[in-house]
Amino acid sequence: MRRRYAKPAYEVFLNWVNESLPRSLPKSGIGKALGYAANHLPRLRHYLEDGRIEIDNNQIENKIRPLALGRKNYLFAGSRKGAERAAMMYSFLATCKEHDVNPREWLKDVLLRINDHPINRIHELLPGEWKKNRTGQKGE
């Protein structure tokens, strides 16, 4: 599909950009847009050549959006330590979401167990491992 439909459209657009760029004023709106396209379109060729590559990065953008929003909130965390703790909680909650773990259940269980849990096995309390262990215990 990419070779049949996307590649011809890409080639037509790339040729138009390369032909139009020299005829436009570099600081005009269209000149800036054409310059941007001329600089970035060659990288898009990878998308045409490798079916594993997505055309956009929306999946990762959506996953890091809460972190970007959180960054603004860290300014008002009260202290550096407060901001670090908030960032850590964002990370834990995002990991819960990634592993389809109920963050409330995970946090409640981990807080009840963490004092008695061996430090050399602390990774078992991270959401992904926690889910595997819980699933095994429930026989699901």
Mind listing the pLDDT tens digit for each residue in 83-120? 788 878 888 888 998 899 999 999 999 999 999 999 99
Among residues 9, 73, 74, which one has the least CA distance to residue 41? 9
Q: Sketch the domain layout of the chain as residue ranges.
A: 2-49, 58-138
> pLDDT of 12-24, one tens digit each?
999 999 999 999 9
User: Would you state the pLDDT for residue 84?
Assistant: 84
**Torsion angle, alpha carbons of 83, 87, 89, 94, to 10:** 160
**Torsion angle, alpha carbons of 86, 88, 92, 97, to 10:** 60
**Torsion angle, alpha carbons of 71, 123, 93, 53, to 10:** 80
Tokens of 114: 């963490």
126 contacts 93 by C-beta, under 8 angstroms: no
CA distance 127 to 93: 9
